[in-house]
Structure 1
Amino acid sequence: MTGAASQQQTETPLYGERAIDEAELICFDNPRPGRAYEVSIELPEFTCKCPFSGYPDFAVLRLIYQPGPRVVELKAIKLYVNSYRDRSISHEEVSNRIVDDLVAACDPVWLQLEADFNPRGNVHTVVRVSHGTRQPC
């Protein structure tokens, strides 16, 4: 790669970086609004930064929810979650913020997020946040 091409590539955000920067939670109408059902989504490559050390934190996010009027679009949640990769934020805050944003966007009947962070310094953290009342399916 020539020097000019290399310089241009580093100055211009890559398409994936642009998509993450522009990420927003997109929802669509629930195709079965009168039926109780659950959607499970696992996001195994979540990252953010520790607000105290600056070290990266890695987690598996497990989301289970019962849709209300809207269902979250999968690519949108992937990009939204990836937007945390360079943010300094605690395990507890990021877990609650994700739930707050999902509730605001989709208004689920019930939602639970489990953020299972990789051990660091011999400490393993799992944060569970829920919203609403789970209905029988």
Structure 2
Amino acid sequence: MTDSIYSNLKQLGGATVMPQSLDEAELERVQNPQADVLYNVRFTAPEFTSLCPMTGQPDFAHLMIDYVPGEWLVESKSLKLFLGSFRNHGAFHEDCTISIARRLADFLEPKWLRIGGYWYPRGGIPIDVHYQTGPIPEGVWIPDQGVPPYRGRG
């Protein structure tokens, strides 16, 4: 593995500790061996957790991240640890969702990225936050995120 596109990965294949803050979370990427093809990658995080910045109470969301890679792919374990670092992060739903999107877009430089943050109700109101970097590249199949309007999520 020393002479491969994976040789710079530090977290995959070894014991890791959940980062305690966003500053500790390290995203990792690998070269996309299929960079000449337009395709969609989807990550689903149905148990995303952050903290309310006012009360410190936990907030829960179902995140759907779609991206059309360019030269880089995000390494999935590093993404899992990055998302897990929000468990100790206090921010409103909108800020969490957009912060994830912007960090991924800046780090990966994808041809296109979309995130849907489907937040479970607090105070009786669910909040859905959607963001994308621009129009979907022509010729790429992007399935619907499939998360229905709130009627109880699961």
Q: Report the aligned-residue RMSD.
A: 1.4
Report the Cα offset of residue 62 of structure 1: 0.3
Aligned residues: 122
Question: Any conservation in 2 of the 1:70–1:108 contact (CA below 8 Å)?
Answer: yes
Alignment of 1:1-137 (within 5 A): 18-21=17-20, 22-135=24-137, 136-137=139-140
Aligned to 1:11: none
Residues 44 and 37 (structure 1 numbering): CA distance in 2 closer, same or farther, change over 3 Å?
A: same
Report the Cα offset of residue 125 of structure 1: 0.7
Q: Distance in 1 between matches of 2:64 and 2:100?
A: 12
Aligned to 2:148: none
Secondary structure, aligned partner of 1:97: helix
Letter matched to residue 26 of structure 2: E
TM-score by length of 2: 0.74
Q: Give a deviation string over 1:77-125, Cα, whole Å, max 9, x none.
A: 0000000101111111111111111012111110000011111111011
Structure 2: give runs of 5+ residues left out of the alignment.
1-14, 141-154
TM-score by length of 1: 0.83
Give identity over the alignment, percent.
34
Report the Cα offset of residue 133 of structure 1: 2.9
Aligned to 2:150: none
Query: Greater helix share, 1 or 2?
Result: 1
Q: Displaced runs of 4+ in structure 1, greater than 4 A?
A: none
Report the Cα offset of residue 61 of structure 1: 0.7
Secondary structure, aligned partner of 1:61: strand
Secondary structure, aligned partner of 2:110: coil
